[in-house]
Structure 1
């Protein structure tokens, strides 16, 4: 194991996604903080907790300043009936800070609920259809253009260049200021690519006038590259990548990585609130969950996972239906493993920056090798991946040393162990990769 870094760097974000309605009242969120911190996370991301419109969707915000009724509690067992919504949230962010965690909230400003008060108060802020009605956003299926999904519970805001835009920016600047004052230190910007980069530049700039350490995370999944490119002037700190969907063969993920790594460093995730649970897809295979978490960590600057991933939860999170009664019995427990992986990202600079990265194996080879270089320190990482679910694969230790430009004695493996390895596993001439596994190496010059 190489020695710890002697020069300082900012570790990449390790984000735990706390899905609010799975836990219920805000006071219960606080109960999770010690375990989140123990696993080595430094951020807690909370999906929208605002009062929703009639559909009940967390992402159909009716009032940005009121809590979802399911998150207020009864005032009985919690004994907080006299607390305001802001006091509840402030108590949570204070508790998180005491646990060494920063809190990030979802910022949904590309649309509101169709029954939001803003629709009545400021109809001029919205896109309108030809018949004059407020427009609901939609999406076309990429595989079948005839399939169009319309979100009828949403009203699309209009950020085109026009006089009304300044008032909209003023309104949402105040929303951001309100929540930074309550202790929120970051914002995940939902569908960030749907707003002009210049609008984000103003929103982010104003936020940092009063809270300069505030971080902004752009959600850009599935966006056309040109829509992401126009975010360059915005000043985002991070964006989310699509590593979850990589087949370990196609070029698109590394192409995406190279194209946008100078826009903002990226964050990978093995599953999210928008996807099926990996434990459900794998039939409760804990190795598959370890495999994807370690890959997500090794590939990009930041990593995120949703609540329950560490315990093999199988029920998909739902923006309307999820409630505390959907809490599950654990299929497995990989909390210690996640803690060891998160510690690597906090320790090694090369794992916490979007340095140059390329594949050093051929596409047809059974082992996938990725080489990543730090631009801040003389450090390189190599990850060997066996995506095969059935067969053991091998890679020559001397080959890997050549790729890393080091001697065999410098080849330091930092892969978290499972507890059943022998010394020969890490010193023999061939590096053995079990089915659906990867091994991670770091070189410090």
Structure 2
């Protein structure tokens, strides 16, 4: 399909004390250097990493630095590693997270042990980086310290579950585009429109520096389990937003099962296999990922192109933009509404460009009337 990085959710042994559900939450870590035996053996994981590398893919794993399970060995051996309330009791980081307790990053020995554990997976298994859970709940200066230590072992890729700009200053390569995800949902419900998307791209998104990667997504493990599948949340616009999220500036995320058109909410604390099946989304993702790799206009950071909105006669419903770099060009034209929309461009748009999905050359002249069906889109490339 063209996937470049595999993000594997936590593979550590899960705590048993105060466990949620049958399997528990994989974010309730009992051993930072262990492999959950329910998933396989350390040798199995090493083989997986080696196989991914042989296919040209990188592997990052989920890292839960903010809290541990109640039965992590540190609870008894180093209780000073944890925050406590006025009664001297361990505390969950969030009231609903009763299966975990929060770590205390004012303790320098804890920091050293956490960095040691992070380095362990690089040296022992050869992984390529981390997705760091609730990164904004851990002091940024710790992440800066950890990144410097990891880079001395090998170059790493770091994804923060967070959206604070200071995460990019030293520690992280990529952060979540949460505001954009929320905006997709509001547009799908008819509460916002294409002009709101343009305002977001010209405003909040501009606060990130040029080489800050932003993770663009229409689903993930949290969204699917707690808020619904992309089909529930985005309705008939699901495919439209899937394609759009692969063309905007940033790095797209494919959550396991999206390529199979998964239509169910996956259980968070129970075993819940995905029904793997042929689905049109697989071909769409494959085409888009190939374009992302081969068309420099879509490359990340300063290696890629800025996106420039193209004015239409119907900007409230139509979001059209161009990205051009080194002779490469991608033009996206999206009807962000549930109604058929007619519009035209003030300037010529496409000359010598071909439709990404049909391969046919298309020319769009100034003033030419264009009709797009509800949630229809065009992607033109050169």
Aligned to 1:136, which of 92, 95, 98? 92
Aligned to 1:434, which of 368, 373, 380? 373
Q: Compared with structure 1, are the counterparts of its residues 265 and 432 closer, same or farther at alpha carbon in structure 2 (3 Å cutoff)?
A: same
- Aligned equivalents of 2:310, 2:67: Cα separation in 1: 43
Q: Compared with structure 1, are the counterparts of its residues 59 and 253 closer, same or farther at alpha carbon in structure 2 (3 Å cutoff)?
A: farther
Is 1:57 matched up with 2:5?
no
After superposition, what is the alpha-carbon deviation per residue over 1:18-55, rounded to whole angstroms, capped at 9, x for unaligned?
Answer: xxxxxxxxxxxxxxxxxxxxx11111111001111122
Q: How far apart are 1:379 and its partner, in Å? A: 5.4
* Aligned residue number for residue 332 of structure 1: 279
Q: Compared with structure 1, are the counterparts of its residues 347 and 174 closer, same or farther at alpha carbon in structure 2 (3 Å cutoff)?
A: same
Q: Judge which range, 431-440 or 268-277, deviates more.
A: 431-440
How many pairs were matched up? 353
Provide the TM-score with structure 1 as the length reference: 0.72
Provide the TM-score with structure 2 as the length reference: 0.83
Q: How far apart are 1:152 and its partner, in Å? A: 1.1
* Aligned residue number for residue 18 of structure 1: none
Please list, as runs of the form range in 1=range in 2, the aligned pairs for 1:272-287 lying within 5 A after superposition.
Answer: 272-275=220-223, 276-281=228-233
Q: How far apart are 1:109 and its partner, in Å? A: 0.5
After superposition, what is the alpha-carbon deviation per residue over 1:211-232, rounded to whole angstroms, capped at 9, x for unaligned?
Answer: 1x211111115xxxxxx13324
Is the contact between residue 41 and residue 101 of structure 1 (CA under 8 Å) also seen in structure 2?
yes
* Aligned residue number for residue 217 of structure 1: 159
Please list, as runs of the form range in 1=range in 2, the aligned pairs for 1:358-373 lying within 5 A after superposition.
Answer: 359-361=309-311, 365-372=316-323
Secondary structure of residue in 2 paired with 1:439: strand
Unaligned runs of 5+ in 1: 1-38, 73-84, 139-148, 222-227, 402-407
Please list, as runs of the form range in 1=range in 2, the aligned pairs for 1:386-425 lying within 5 A after superposition.
Answer: 386-396=335-345, 399-401=347-349, 409-410=351-352, 412-417=353-358
Is 1:265 matched up with 2:213?
yes
Work out which structure has the larger RCO, using CA pairs closer than 8 Å and 6 or more positions apart in sequence. Answer: 1
- Aligned equivalents of 1:424, 1:214: Cα separation in 2: 41
Q: How far apart are 1:205 and its partner, in Å? A: 0.9
Please list, as runs of the form range in 1=range in 2, the aligned pairs for 1:108-127 lying within 5 A after superposition.
Answer: 108-127=64-83
Is the contact between residue 310 and residue 335 of structure 1 (CA under 8 Å) also seen in structure 2?
yes
Q: Compared with structure 1, are the counterparts of its residues 281 and 265 closer, same or farther at alpha carbon in structure 2 (3 Å cutoff)?
A: closer
Q: Judge which range, 328-337 or 292-301, deviates more.
A: 328-337
Q: Compared with structure 1, are the counterparts of its residues 427 and 380 closer, same or farther at alpha carbon in structure 2 (3 Å cutoff)?
A: closer
Is the contact between residue 63 and residue 131 of structure 2 (CA under 8 Å) also seen in structure 1?
yes
* Aligned residue number for residue 22 of structure 1: none
Q: Compared with structure 1, are the counterparts of its residues 57 and 174 closer, same or farther at alpha carbon in structure 2 (3 Å cutoff)?
A: same
* Aligned residue number for residue 236 of structure 1: 172
Unaligned runs of 5+ in 2: 188-193
Secondary structure of residue in 2 paired with 1:105: strand
- Aligned equivalents of 2:6, 2:44: Cα separation in 1: 16
Is the contact between residue 413 and residue 439 of structure 1 (CA under 8 Å) also seen in structure 2?
no
Q: Kindly report the root-mean-square deviation, in angstroms, between the aligned alpha carbons of the 2 structures.
A: 2.7
Q: Compared with structure 1, are the counterparts of its residues 249 and 168 closer, same or farther at alpha carbon in structure 2 (3 Å cutoff)?
A: farther
After superposition, what is the alpha-carbon deviation per residue over 1:37-74, rounded to whole angstroms, capped at 9, x for unaligned?
Answer: xx1111111100111112210111111222224212xx
Is the contact between residue 273 and residue 316 of structure 1 (CA under 8 Å) also seen in structure 2?
no
Q: How far apart are 1:409 and its partner, in Å? A: 3.0
Is the contact between residue 198 and residue 234 of structure 1 (CA under 8 Å) also seen in structure 2?
no
Is 1:350 matched up with 2:297?
yes
